[in-house]
Structure 1
Amino acid sequence: MDARAFNIAGPLELTPVRHGDARGYFTETFNLAKANAAGVAETEWVQDNQSFSAPAFTLRGLHFQLPPFAQAKIVRVLKGRIFDVAVDLRRASKTFGQWVGVELSAEKFNQLYVPRGFAHGFLTLEPDVLVAYKVSHYYSGAHDRSLSWADASLGIAWPLPEGVSPVLSAKDAAAPKLEALQDELKEAW
């Protein structure tokens, strides 16, 4: 497994090795020992999730869970392409409020590791996108939070064509800005 770090400590772009021949290919999409050797801090993964987005420019996120239900994620694309983003919400971090982004695609075969303490979201770049991701903790509605994808203080460079608005859920459209979440983040991580 190849791993690429970003300018923010924690997130990693992971690319599993594909073994191919005339029939196709074989790969380990996840191997705990190799993931940990590459820098993934989590040792327990409890759930696999999958999402399908029909229209291009569907934006899901930015989502996170507060402790003790904070989740790490490993995200990959089974069909299509996305722009995947992780925002640092660790108050003690020098990079608090900063983000990393990477294009993930079925063709590139890459993945994004999003540690606990980060909000996560993605924008589909084409129609009919299928995304799968592992999480390190179960869903908890009481600890589930959203952060506005459009918060100017984050400065996320979403690759939206000029004049195109993303397709959002009601929850994501109403998500608060980082400033409104400050009190909840004081005790987190």
Structure 2
Amino acid sequence: MELNLREIASATLVLFAVIDIVGSIPVVISLRKKVGHIQSGKASIVAASIMVAFLFVGEEILKLIAIDVNSFAVAGSFVLFFIAIEMILGITLYKDDEPHTASIVPLAFPLIAGVGTLTTLLSLRAEYQVVNIGVAIVLNIIFVYLVLKSSTRIERILGPSGLSIIRKVFGVVLLAIAVKLFASNIQGLFQA
């Protein structure tokens, strides 16, 4: 296990696109308006804990239900594909119920460490070393914390069109990653 800057950069970008905290700023702002205050630190720590736990225990859970990592990675590539389509086209294919509080539940899970993020972690694990994914998680959580702390200021600076452009650009990046993930893991299914 050694640190690989290319793997760290790649995993960081994938997680950044999937977590999409910049694209979630409007949701964060509406939560802040509803409940008055968002616990940025607490939400970030809980989200990081969920992600790290799933990174290490997720594969064991899969083994328990007799699913190999390649199958999960291919399934994950489909999830990433649909998230990317949502981001690029600005449509909603999956919508959670309207959250009632801005505590850990709507913010840390599922907004930051949601199904897409957890699926992505296991998909990344099929390609990258765990230590590099761990560094990518830490980098993303630091960024998430900074965004949560300054969400109102970021919204004011970027404006609606700026947020939309960022969301679409990362949607295209995520789509390319989904295709790569599918292509590199589909062969493993037929060899097994």
Q: TM-score band, normalised by the shorter chain?
A: under 0.3
State the TM-score, normalizing by the size of structure 1.
0.24
Whichever structure has more helix as a proportion of its residues is 2
Whichever structure has more strand as a proportion of its residues is 1
State the TM-score, normalizing by the size of structure 2.
0.23
